[in-house]
Amino acid sequence: MADVNTIYDFSQRGKRAVITGGASGIGNAVARAFAQRGAKVAIIDMNPDIEKAAADISPDVMAVKADITKTGEIDCALDKIAGRFGGIDVLCNIAGVGQSVSAEEISEGEWDNIVSVNMTALFFMCQRAGRYMIEQGTGGKIINMASQAGIVGLDMHVCYGATKAAVINITKTLAVEWGKYGITVNSVSPTVIMTPMSIKHWSGERGDNLKKLIPMGRFGTVEEAAACFVYLASDAANLITGENLVIDGGYTIQ
């Protein structure tokens, strides 16, 4: 049974957390939030500035440059992290690529890239980190980045939406399989979160039109998204698994 004070402050003290896409955007905000709450944090990213991004959070944050679309690089990255931290307790799968291409125009190459990063790489990160958690025998937390686009149709997002729907189902299936090991698996489905990637797709009139369909009338911040990952990784969420936490200002309730 978790300590009441630990539950109420959403502490990550003593936890060993791996965050993909941690060099920028939501991943960076999540890494910062975990570090501030006492976790040992490692970020995995292809960004050439990953070392600086890690140092800007804390000198104690570990930076591992890796291409997670290659299972060999996933294995090497997790081996390094587990070797330094002594294990892995939390995986936040945030790395992803966006799309703003119509269904009639998307190319096979674009399709394959989005599927490779958003769905296939995410699953194999879960699989590899899950193996560590199972072997440790102390449970664990996996939180995957999904999207409102995985719940409803979104213009110009046919492949992106398909991968995010897959993420939600992967999450539910892994929750069923790994509950017996004390591993919880959940996903987070935000509306547009204002990062450099989303600004490219949702600035100007297009973004203004989407905000009109959101009851709260705005997009989200990286801090609001990070808070969801912290909650789901905390002891407060020990009985929550297989769920998709939607943070979309009410967009998908209509």
Helices 25-36 & 50-57 angle (0-180, nearest 10): 30
User: Mind listing the domains of the chain with CATH numbers?
Assistant: 4-241 (3.40.50.720)
CA distance linking residue 26 with residue 20, whole number of Å: 10
CA distance linking residue 17 with residue 133, whole number of Å: 12
- Collect all residues with Cβ–Cβ distance below 8 Å to 188 and sequence separation of at least 6: 143, 144, 145, 146, 225, 228, 229, 232, 244, 245, 247
What are residue 242's phi and psi, to 5 degrees? 75, 15
Q: Which two tokens stand for residue 162?
A: 């398909």
CA distance linking residue 163 with residue 150, whole number of Å: 7
Q: Which two tokens stand for residue 45?
A: 């990213």
CA distances from 138 to 84, 131, 149, 212, 238 (A): 18, 12, 34, 46, 13
Strand partners, 73: none
Catalytic status, residue 160: yes
Q: How many CA atoms lie within 13 A of 18 on its CB side?
A: 37
Catalytic residue among 132, 160, 181, 251: 160
For each of the chain's 254 residues, which pLDDT tens digit applies?
Answer: 566 666 677 899 999 999 999 999 999 999 999 999 999 999 999 999 999 999 999 999 999 999 999 999 999 999 999 999 999 999 999 999 988 899 999 999 999 999 999 999 999 999 999 999 999 999 999 999 999 999 999 889 999 999 999 999 999 999 999 999 999 999 999 999 988 777 777 888 988 999 999 999 999 999 999 999 999 999 999 999 999 999 999 999 98
